[in-house]
């Protein structure tokens, strides 16, 4: 989806918003279930916040939309600096695996789903937006940042405002910011930068072929994205369906 400077921004009416909320049983405020999910995430990000190149951790999907159940998993969107995505992905996966909190086919509820990574170069979701993409619109609107380094949440909102108008829902965006429990400013460069670059290149060479092989094995489902700045493994992409229903 390419947007020119004079193209009308995509916007969603309050009426459609209410219809969307009813369809997914979205509540105006989090229940105790969502609150406990947030607490668990806040407790566990301290084990990965040290990883070089990590810049944001978000909660998205059912928990961020206040429609979770006690059987929900915790969907995380993790943002990195350029040339750190594979390093961050592998280290986060390793840490959560040894802590026994990573989602697996047999263990789902209350586990972390690590299916969405990108670099700060892909904060603008217009790159994979559909026309009239109402579901993506609310993804962006309801994303809850938990860890934010170098003020990337504001950058995320600004960049996505180039294709969508969120002005009607500025109260939700303001509320999202209250979920940031860890924020700081750090340099994107360090004395170990070149070393981390080498590690990232090596990990990409090892794991990218395996990732692509698995993608082929599951018949290249719609919605999966694998490129240099984004890894999105959300196989069940309902955006086309939602566009027709809402």
Q: What is the pLDDT of residues 191-238, one digit of tens each?
A: 788 999 999 999 999 999 999 998 998 888 888 999 999 999 987 888
pLDDT at site 236: 80
Query: What is the average per-residue pLDDT within 126-149?
Result: 94
Query: Number of structural domains, the chain?
Result: 1
Q: What percent of the chain has pLDDT over 90?
A: 82
- The answer to whether residue 2 sits within a structural domain is no
d(CA 90, CA 207): 9
Query: What is the average per-residue pLDDT within 166-175?
Result: 94
Residue 133 burial (C-beta neighbours within 10 Å; 0-12, 13-18, 19+): buried
Query: pLDDT at residue 55 above 70?
Result: yes
> Which domain CATH number covers 208?
3.30.460.10
d(CA 107, CA 35): 21
Q: How confident is the model at residue 3 (pLDDT cuts 50, 70, 90)?
A: very low
Query: What is the average per-residue pLDDT within 237-241?
Result: 88
Does this model's pTM top 0.85? My answer is: yes
Q: Are 10 and 239 in contact (CB under 8 A)?
A: no
pLDDT at site 197: 93
d(CA 108, CA 114): 12
Alpha-carbon torsion, ordered 199, 93, 237, 4, to 10 deg: -40
Q: Are 147 and 49 in contact (CB under 8 A)?
A: yes
In the chain, which residue ranges form alpha helices assigned H by DSSP?
Answer: 14-24, 32-44, 85-98, 134-142, 152-160, 170-177, 193-217, 239-245
Q: Which of 113, 95, 93 is nearest to 105 (CA)?
A: 113
d(CA 202, CA 84): 11
d(CA 1, CA 56): 25
- The answer to whether residue 5 sits within a structural domain is no
Query: pLDDT at residue 37 above 80?
Result: yes
pLDDT at site 2: 45
Structural domain of residue 155, as residue ranges?
14-245
pLDDT at site 182: 85
Cβ partners under 8 Å of residue 21, min gap 6: none
pLDDT at site 212: 95
Query: pLDDT at residue 4 above 60?
Result: no
- The answer to whether residue 75 sits within a structural domain is yes
- The answer to whether residue 57 sits within a structural domain is yes
Q: What is the pLDDT of residues 60-117, one digit of tens each?
A: 999 999 999 999 999 999 999 999 999 999 999 999 999 999 999 899 999 999 999 9
Q: Are 173 and 143 in contact (CB under 8 A)?
A: no
- The answer to whether residue 114 sits within a structural domain is yes
- The answer to whether residue 6 sits within a structural domain is no
Q: Which of 106, 103, 24 is nearest to 69 (CA)?
A: 24
d(CA 176, CA 35): 13
pLDDT at site 7: 61
Residue 4 or 162, more confident: 162
39's tokens: 């607490």
Query: pLDDT at residue 153 above 80?
Result: yes
Q: Determine the Cα angle at 179 with ends 174 and 180, to 5°.
A: 100
In 25-84, which residue ranges form alpha helices assigned H by DSSP?
Answer: 32-44
Query: What is the average per-residue pLDDT within 36-41?
Result: 97
Q: Are 56 and 147 in contact (CB under 8 A)?
A: yes
- The answer to whether residue 23 sits within a structural domain is yes
Q: Which of 40, 33, 32, 35 is nearest to 57 (CA)?
A: 40
- The answer to whether residue 7 sits within a structural domain is no
Q: Are 140 and 60 in contact (CB under 8 A)?
A: no
């Amino acid at each position: 989806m390419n947007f020119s400077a004079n193209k009308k921004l995509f916007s969603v009416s309050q009426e459609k918003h209410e219809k969307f909320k009813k369809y997914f049983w979205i509540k105006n405020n989090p229940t105790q279930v969502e609150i406990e999910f947030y607490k668990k995430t806040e407790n566990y990000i301290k084990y990965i916040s040290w990883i070089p190149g990590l810049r944001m951790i978000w909660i998205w999907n059912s928990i961020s939309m206040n429609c979770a159940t006690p059987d929900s998993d915790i969907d995380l969107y993790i943002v990195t600096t350029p040339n750190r995505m594979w390093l961050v992905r592998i280290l986060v996966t390793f840490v959560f695996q040894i802590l026994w909190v990573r989602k697996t086919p047999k263990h789902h509820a209350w586990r972390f789903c690590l299916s969405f990574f990108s670099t700060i170069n892909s904060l603008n979701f217009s790159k994979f937006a559909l026309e009239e993409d109402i579901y993506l619109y609310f993804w962006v609107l309801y994303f809850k940042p938990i860890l934010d380094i170098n003020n990337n949440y504001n950058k995320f909102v600004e960049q996505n405002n180039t294709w969508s108008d969120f002005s009607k829902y500025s109260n939700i965006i303001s509320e999202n910011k209250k979920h940031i429990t860890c924020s700081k400013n750090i340099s994107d460069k360090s004395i170990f930068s070149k070393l981390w670059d080498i590690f990232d290149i090596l990990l990409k060479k090892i794991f990218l072929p395996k990732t692509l092989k698995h993608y082929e094995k599951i018949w290249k489902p719609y919605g999966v994205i694998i490129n240099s700045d984004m890894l999105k493994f959300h196989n069940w992409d309902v955006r086309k369906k939602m566009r027709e229903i809402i």
